[in-house]
Amino acid sequence: MNDPSDAFHLTSIGMIESDFPDKFGIPRQPGLATAAKASLVLLPPYDDPLAVRGLEAFSHLWLTFVFHLSPGQSGPADWNPLVRPPRLGGNTRVGVFASRSTHRPNRLGLSLVELVDIDTSRGVRLWLRGADLADGTPVLDIKPYLPWVESRPDALAGFAPDSPPQLQVVLSPEAEAVLALRRDGDSLRELIHQVLAQDPRPAYRRGAEERIYGVRLRDLDVRFQALQERTGPTLLRVVEIVPAQGQR
């Protein structure tokens, strides 16, 4: 008897364009970086405006997508039953199906995004807010969000009962000078604060240190360092902002 799963064939209906050219620095959950710009461009033959008729009446959407940047996964045979969520410090292991890890048997992701606008002047483009998706992410499906059935405030949230703590973020005078020269400087500053406040560093490296990290946002590399205040928790300082190299 053949495995019925062998009959499944999934096709991308669209691709994401976003402020996150690289996976490092992407918020680990949707809605945490509202300053991030993103859009979903539908691909032929799914770019027919008729396919999104009535979607403008909904404020939020579920997107089913593929973690296309997850390394070392050639298919369902290449997976591990245990993962180490950053929320638990990067050392404690839990079952992959008890997590939202990108390292999954089929690399499928689910994201709740806000629908800002729909452009059908040339095909179909959905403008989004709060997306936690890398540029180039393949999207497999779109479904409207229904709050009356899908919002459950009394639900248990396991090892992530609350939103993650926010770190203080400061920018050096050199970084501020770069932003002052850009037309999108204000929105980029807000995006930098929202992304870095969630501390994108690997969980096992968190703490005061001298290492400089770089997160790519839009067309720039934002380089930052963790500092320890005497009277408070670690803060992140943006050391410099430079043009991104080797963009794909």
Task: Decide if 238 contacts 169 (C-beta within 8 A).
Answer: yes
CA distance 221 to 227: 19
CA distance 217 to 223: 11
**Cis previous bond, 4, omega within 30:** no
| pLDDT at res. 80 | 86
pTM of the entire predicted model: 0.86
- DSSP labels for 144-190? E--HHHH--TT---TT--SPPP--EEEE-HHHHHHHHTSTTHHHHHH
| pLDDT at res. 248 | 45
| pLDDT at res. 42 | 98
Tens digit of pLDDT per residue, the chain (248 long)? Answer: 566 656 678 999 999 999 999 988 888 888 889 999 999 999 999 999 999 999 999 999 999 999 998 765 555 557 889 988 888 877 889 999 998 888 888 889 999 999 999 999 999 999 999 999 999 999 999 999 999 999 888 989 888 888 888 899 999 999 999 999 999 999 999 999 999 999 998 876 655 567 899 999 999 999 999 887 665 668 899 999 999 886 54
| pLDDT at res. 31 | 87
| pLDDT at res. 241 | 96
Task: Decide if 114 contacts 72 (C-beta within 8 A).
Answer: no
Q: Which amino acid is at 169?
A: V
Structural domains for the chain: 4-70+107-150 (2.40.30.70), 168-243 (3.30.2310.20)
- DSSP labels for 196-246? HTT--S-GGG-SS---EEEEEETTEEEEEEEEE-TTSSEEEEEEEEEE-SS
